[in-house]
Amino acid sequence: MKTSELRRARLPRTAAGWTSTPYYLVTIGNAISWGSALGYLRRFGVGVNEWRLMAHVANEPGCTAADVSRFLRTNKAVVSRSLKTLQDKGLVGLDSADGARRIYLTEDGVALHDRILPIAVRREQILLDGLDEEERELLIGMLRRMHANLTAMNEFDHGADVEGVGVGERRG
């Protein structure tokens, strides 16, 4: 490739940047994940994926791995690996009495959850520093609406072609 073929000027339309909602969601999410991943692993011996699974099971005892995957919108393989790690550490157990592999925290899992939770809550408080209660409620409301749009966005993604299907359009 010749250097004369390199596009040196900024493109007039771009996907990322200071005005892009996904930019902020992704970078904030990445910072939350990386910070907690390093801290939780170093201090407690579990990574962020294991913590997320534990937190979900604490809220929904008896859920299945598929439930966790759907709720966290993460790959089933990630949930399976995290579940195996937590089982090996004795932090969760499975009950298959009704035919489903239901996940529960063990007493050690509850104890670890209760040690990590204050740190997770404090990290959220730091993240939201500078927002008053009304702004926090507004933010959560907007995030919930965006969350509700995820299925439609994913349907669009699966229907979009390389040529670019317009927003809201579907391939027929």
| Residue 100: inside a domain | yes
| Residue 9: inside a domain | no
pLDDT > 70: percent of the chain? 92
| Residue 37: inside a domain | no
Handedness of CA 102, 107, 112, 114 (dihedral sign): positive
**Chain segment 47-58, per-residue pLDDT in tens:** 999 999 999 999
| Residue 57: inside a domain | yes
CATH number for the domain including 112? Answer: 1.10.10.10
| Residue 136: inside a domain | no
| Residue 164: inside a domain | no
How many domains does one find in the chain? 1
What pLDDT does 35 receive? Answer: 86
| Residue 54: inside a domain | yes
C-alpha to C-alpha distance for 37 and 49, rounded to whole angstroms: 8
**Chain segment 89-110, per-residue pLDDT in tens:** 999 999 999 999 999 999 999 9
> Measuring CA to CA, which residue among 138, 120, 110 is closest to residue 48?
120
Q: Domain of residue 108: give its range.
A: 48-128
CB burial of 44-70 (b: ≥16 within 10 Å; e: otherwise) equals bebbbbbbbbbebbeeeeebbbebbbe
| Residue 58: inside a domain | yes
What pLDDT does 158 receive? Answer: 79
